Structure 1
C-alpha cells in the first residue's frame, strides 16, 4: 500500500511541470499585482497632491514611489522572468507591510489577500523563475 501511495504522489512531477507551475505563478501573481500598481502609477504622475498612507514612516511620496516600484516594475519583471528572485523580494515586502502594518487592525479578512500574494512571492524568490523565463534564457547563453 505504501508503494502505491508513494508512486501516486510522485507520478507526473517533472521539471517541466514545475517550470510550468512557476510560469503560471509568475504571470498570474505579476499580472494581478500590476492591476493594483497601475492606479498607484497614475496617481504618482498625475500632478495632484499625493494622498497615500505612510506605513513605514518615510513620507507619503516615498511610500507611494516604493509601492509603484514594487507593484509595477517588479511585477513586470516577474511576468517576463527577468531578475525574478530579486523582483519577488520587494513584492513580498510590500505585501507583508500591507498585511501587518496597513491592515493590522482590520482583521484577517483584509490581511488574507496580501498574505497570499506574499506567500507566492516568497516561494518564487526561493525557487526561482523556472525554465520558461528570461533568466533561464540568459543563463543558457
Structure 2
C-alpha cells in the first residue's frame, strides 16, 4: 500500500540524507538566524523596522517584527533539527529578499567587489539553508529521530 500524500510530505520533511557533520551547518544557520531575529526586537530602529523603512521595504512596522519572529522560530527549528526542511523555506525567502533589497543596490552603485564583501554572510546563510532544504537535518536531529520512529511503526 502506497503512502498517502500527507505521509509522503511528513516523510520528506523528516527524512535526511545528510551526514552527521550537517549539524555544523545547522548550528551556523540556526544560530545566525536566531540571533538576528532576536536583535530585530532588541534594536528595532537599527536592525528591525527602522532598517526596513530606511531601505524602502513596505509596512516596515509590520514587516520588521514579522521577519524577526520568522527568524527566531525557523532558526530555533533548524538548531533543533525539527522540521528542518520546512523551516529552511522561509529562511531562503528572507535571504533572497535581503540580497535583492540591500546587496543588488550595492552592486549597481559600488560594483561587484563591494557587493561581494557586503553579501558574504547573506550568501553563506542562503547556501546553508538551501543545503538543509536539499539534504535534511542529518542523523543528529529531531527529524532523524522522528523518521526512525515512523519507520519502526507498522503500516496502517
Q: How does 1:57-68 map to 2 (within 5 A)?
A: 57-68=57-68
RMSD: 2.2
Using CA pairs under 8 Å that are at least 6 residues apart, name the structure with larger relative contact order, 1 or 2.
Answer: 2
Shift of 1:28: 1.8
The answer as to 2:115 corresponding to 1:116 is no
Q: Which runs of 4+ in 1 moved over 3 A?
A: 54-58
Deviations 1:28-70 (A, max 9, x none): 21112222221113346xxxxx424156854112321332133
Residue equivalent to 1:138: 146
The answer as to 2:42 corresponding to 1:34 is no
Q: For the Cα contact (< 8 Å) 1:88–1:121, is it kept in 2? A: yes
Residue equivalent to 2:3: none
Which whole-Å CA distance do the structure 1 matches of 2:42 and 2:135 have between them?
32
Q: For the Cα contact (< 8 Å) 2:36–2:68, is it kept in 1? A: no
Q: For the Cα contact (< 8 Å) 1:74–1:88, is it kept in 2? A: yes
TM-score (norm 1): 0.74
Which whole-Å CA distance do the structure 2 matches of 1:35 and 1:57 have between them?
21
How many residues are aligned here?
120
TM-score (norm 2): 0.67
Which whole-Å CA distance do the structure 2 matches of 1:111 and 1:119 have between them?
12
Which whole-Å CA distance do the structure 2 matches of 1:69 and 1:82 have between them?
17
Runs (5+) with no aligned partner, structure 2:
1-17, 107-114, 150-156
Which whole-Å CA distance do the structure 2 matches of 1:56 and 1:89 have between them?
24
Q: For the Cα contact (< 8 Å) 2:81–2:143, is it kept in 1? A: yes
Residue equivalent to 2:75: 75
Residue equivalent to 2:50: 51
